[in-house]
A = this chain, B = another copy of it.
Amino acid sequence: MKTVNIAIMGFGNIGVGTYQGLEVNHGAIAAETGLDLKVAKIIEVDIDRPRPVSPDRSLFTPDRMEVFQDPSIDVVVELIGGIEPATTFMLEAMRHGKHVVTANKAAIAANYEQLIGTAKEAGVLFRFEASVGGGIPVINAITTVLRSNQIEEVTGIVNGTTNFILTQMTQAGRSYADVLKEAQERGFAEADPTADVEGVDMANKLSILISLCFGDRVKVEDIPTIGITGVTPEDIAQAKAEGKVIKLVARATREDGKVVCSVAPARLDAEHPLAGVNNEFNAIYLRGNILGETMLYGKGAGPLPTGSAIIGDIIDIATRT
Contact B25–A316 (Cβ < 8 Å): no
A71 at the interface (CB under 8 A from B): no
> When the two chains form their complex, are residues B297 and A297 in contact, meaning their CB atoms are under 8 A apart?
yes
Determine whether the beta carbon of A147 is less than 8 Å from that of B315.
yes
From A39-47, A184-192, A233-241, A286-294, the one touching the partner chain is A286-294
Question: How far is B129's CA from A288's CA once the two chains are assembled, in angstroms?
Answer: 16
Query: Interface residues of A: mostly helix, strand, loop or mixed?
Result: helix
Number of copies: 2
Q: Are B150 and A145 in contact (CB under 8 A)?
A: no
Closest Cβ neighbor of A277 among chain B residues = B273
Which of the 9-residue segments A50-58, A135-143, A201-209, A218-226 touches chain B? A135-143
- Residue from A29, A144, A271, A311 having most chain B Cβ neighbours under 10 A: A144
Q: Is A268 an interface residue (CB 8 A)?
A: no
Are A319 and B24 in touch, CB under 8 angstroms?
Answer: no
Task: Please tell me which one of the listed residues B295, B309, B313 contacts residue A297 in the complex, with CB atoms under 8 A apart.
Answer: B295
A194 within 8 A of B: no
| CB atoms of A144 and B294 under 8 A apart | no
Mark contacts of A280-321 with chain B using CB atoms, 8 A cut-off: 1 yes-contact digit, 0 otherwise.
Answer: 000000001111111111110010110111111111100110
Check if A12 is an interface residue, CB within 8 A of chain B. Answer: no
A33 contacts B by Cβ under 8 Å: yes
The reply to whether the CB of A32 lies closer than 8 angstroms to some CB of chain B is yes
Q: Inside 8 A of A65's CB, which chain B residues have their CB?
A: none
Smallest CB-CB A-B distances: 7 pairs: A145-B312, A294-B298, A148-B311, A291-B308, A295-B297, A148-B312, A135-B291
